[in-house]
Amino acid sequence: MKGDFSNNVLIGLKAREEWAFDHIYSSNRAWLYTIAYKIIGEEADAQDVVQEFFTDLWGKQLYNNVESNLKGYLLQSIRNRALNYIKKRKFDKQIAKSLIHEVSYIVPSIKAERDQLEKVIEEALSKIPRASAEVFALHYIEGLSHPQIAKKQNVSRQTVRNQISQALKILRKELKNTKNE
């Protein structure tokens, strides 16, 4: 009997019936969050991963990939997304460390060179769009997390990630050009 209901929910979902999506969301969100949290270790990030998954499930019609085992699909999807999130977060931290290393590589001890370096860094920072520069400063200078920045700036976490990524790319490019001169 339970299998019949699950099949009906899947059929309803594929027919874009909102009741089916609502049922899947309300009956699976909590345990999927628990799985994401166990992998990621941060509440806000786990909530974001689960929310983005459900948004994609409905908006991108990911349910069309499911033939029979909906719970298995949900579990595997959240697991993969949580692991991908961790990989991206580690990659972002590596980029930041790389940037710090590049800057420390050219930090001189002589005052004139230090002044020139400050000018180069200010010029590089000035090439970052204002919104990205603000988010970059909140994250790397004030030490705020992505969820804290998103809340403070009233933007999505994805926007925060994109702005930080954009700022790092510009800084890396500008500092690399300076290093090669």
Q: Are 133 and 64 part of one and the same domain?
A: no
Helix axes 43-59, 18-40, angle to 10 degrees: 150
Which structural domain range is residue 160 located in?
A: 106-180
Q: What's the average model confidence in pLDDT over 84-89?
A: 80
pLDDT category, 1, cuts 50, 70, 90?
A: very low
Give residue-wise pLDDT tens across range 94-137. Answer: 666 666 655 555 554 555 666 676 677 777 777 888 888 888 88
Q: Is pLDDT above 70 for 60?
A: yes
Q: What's the average model confidence in pLDDT over 88-99?
A: 67
**Which CATH number do you get for residue 23?**
1.10.1740.10
pLDDT at 171: 82
Q: Is 29 exposed, middle or buried (0-12, 13-18, 19+ CB in 10 A)?
A: middle
Q: Select from 18, 50, 84 the last residue of a domain.
A: 84
Q: Is residue 162 part of a domain?
A: yes
pLDDT at 26: 93
Q: How many structural domains comprise the chain? A: 2
Per the prediction, the chain carries an average pLDDT of: 80
Q: Are 80 and 31 part of one and the same domain?
A: yes
pLDDT at 106: 54
Q: What's the average model confidence in pLDDT over 24-43?
A: 91
pLDDT category, 19, cuts 50, 70, 90?
A: very high
